[in-house]
A and B are shown apart, each in its own frame.
Chain A
Amino acid sequence: MTDALTRLKQHPAALWVGFALIAAALAMLPFIVGMQGQTWVRVVNNALLYVMLALGLNIVVGFAGLLDLGYIAFYAVGAYSYALLASPHFGLHLPFWIILPIGFLVACVFGVLLGAPVLKLRGDYLAIVTLGFGEIIRIFINNLNEPINITNGPQGITLIDPIRIGSLSFSGTNELAGLDFTSPVKYYYLLLALVLVIIFINVRLQDSRIGRAWEAIREDEIAAQAMGINLRNMKLLAFAMGASFGGVAGGMFSAIQGFISPESFGIFESIIVLSMVVLGGMGNIPGVILGAVLLSTFPEALRYMAPLQKATFGREIIDPEAARLLIFGLAMILIMLFRPAGLLPSEVRKRELATERAP
């Protein structure tokens, strides 16, 4: 696989053909899966949201090595920023290109807010505090309907505006060149564009001085300082960058769903996103993307167990909802047993496991 890649890199033309093929596949994807119904386009969109989240968390966990178990809080912050500024709840209906940067910034501020008090914490202690932070945000949202109603509490916020760019609304269906651009299809392209931007930023970050500073911090904080790395700023930057990507994903989630409530931002979501990062391959961008796509679509595919059971046994033997989690857990255990560094591990992670076993 790696050999094939190096050979490809020696032929720029082949590389471009490869890119073109991938681009064409991505461009046609919603129409191909759309033939099975719009549900599948929604599943793909959901996967793209998780890719954004996983890439954001990967900056904190994978690059800087700071275990964050409350990451979903930033998703919630982004989602509520969008919902409050574009719904009848406050009567505000700001346009999307104003809300998106606001969501980005608010999440960024919350990232620093979490980062500042935990600068000196490491490992388990950091995990505990971030876990608490995630829960605090959710509980706040759940209870901020009294004395002043800000978040509308557990009822959540409804009738959130769909995204509108100029005269193009993302809610209805448009027809262009004989193709039906349904609402999920339009969101797919917007999400894809955002994901590509985030991937680009991630790749550039990893190869930059900032990326190297994070790498040093992940390995040894004291030595990193002795190299001339500003520990505080670099850690805060990791938290802020990770958080802001989560915030953008949250805003998109709000717009696509049209309804949000605190229930969507529980601890289980944080764990799922972390599983995507770990399972795919911590610190490796393609790995993290793969992890996010697999873990978000796999449970959807398992929904088809019920009709399958009916067809073979004539009745439902195992409750599909329960079995879904069971199989999910089993798959995770198998991956951790056979590919402990993740499906597509980063170079450094591979070495880490090799050196742990070798001496």
Chain B
Amino acid sequence: MTLLELAGLEVAYGGIKAVKGIDLAVEKGELVCLIGANGAGKTTTLKAICGMVPTHGGAVRYQDRDITGTPSYRLVERGLAMVPEGRGIFRQLTVAENLAMGAFVRNDREAVRHDLEVIFELFPRLAERRSQPGGTLSGGEQQMLAIGRAMMSRPKLLLLDEPSMGLAPLLVQKIFETVRKISAEGVTILLIEQNARLALEIANRAYVMETGTITLSGPAAELLADPKVREAYLGEMA
């Protein structure tokens, strides 16, 4: 079953087209990654899915319903959660309060309390710092908090925007392991990354984006072996 589908999606800033009619699909249970260089239009695509920028053509379908232009706060209720670029931690609120805020749309208090413990199990580091303000965490911890917070809404589809940004290589490894773990739990994930190698290693399928268009797509393992990808994104000589 297709959970998310982009059909001919176009986004423009002023007169400049950032996304030039792309098609993309995410099946239920998959981990799909969208890779590409800086300025390829990856984040814009994600913002368009979430209704954070207006689209200029094409459609976004989620669970077989057209959600083009639906504001992001409505999508959370429907199980579409996003971890924004730059993490967007509530700096003054504690780790526990941040996580609780993630469950804003939910009314089942008992289950929320249970999920909080699940998140703390997934990220023991957050449990240690549960009463510390979010702003005092390190970059990696903040990324964990952002992912954990998005998980608190019990998403069906999780959109991750550059979780590796600004993190030390060792931490990036750790974050990606967790992403894989979350995927294994049955959450569908669309991962947007510049770190192509790591993203391709954990993903089922992948799309390569260049200046607003999808240039390549297919199973992640195939792309990882593709000489063009190896040269352009993995820094290897063909």
Q: Which residues of A contact B (CB under 8 A)?
A: 209, 212-213, 215-216, 219-220, 222-223, 225-231, 348, 351-352, 354-355, 358-359
Contact = CB atoms under 8 A, between A and B. Distances in A.
Contacts of A223: 84, 88-90
A351 B89 contact: no
Interface of B: 50, 52, 71-77, 81-84, 88-93, 100-102, 104-105, 133, 135-136, 149-150, 153
Contacts of A352: 92
A212 B90 CA distance: 12
B72 A226 contact: yes
Given A215-B101, A219-B92, 4 more contacts: A223-B88, A226-B50, A228-B77, A230-B71
Contacts of A348: 92-93
B104 A220 contact: no
Top 10 A-B residue pairs of the complex, sorted by shortest distance between their CB atoms:
A228-B76, A223-B88, A228-B105, A219-B90, A227-B104, A228-B73, A225-B72, A352-B92, A230-B73, A351-B133
A209 B104 contact: yes
Contacts of B71: 225, 230
Residue with the greatest number of chain B CB neighbours at <10 A, chosen from A219, A228, A231, A354: A228
Contacts of A355: 91-92, 133, 135-136
Contacts of B52: 222, 225
Contacts of B76: 226-228
Nearest to B152: A227
A227 B153 contact: yes
Nearest to A229: B73
Contacts of B83: 226
Contacts of B100: 212
Residue with the greatest number of chain A CB neighbours at <10 A, chosen from B73, B102, B153: B73
Given A355-B135, A358-B136, A227 B92 contact: no
Given A231-B73, A359-B136, A216 B104 contact: yes
Residue with the greatest number of chain B CB neighbours at <10 A, chosen from A212, A222, A223, A351: A223
A352 B135 CA distance: 9
Nearest to A359: B136
B93 A226 contact: no
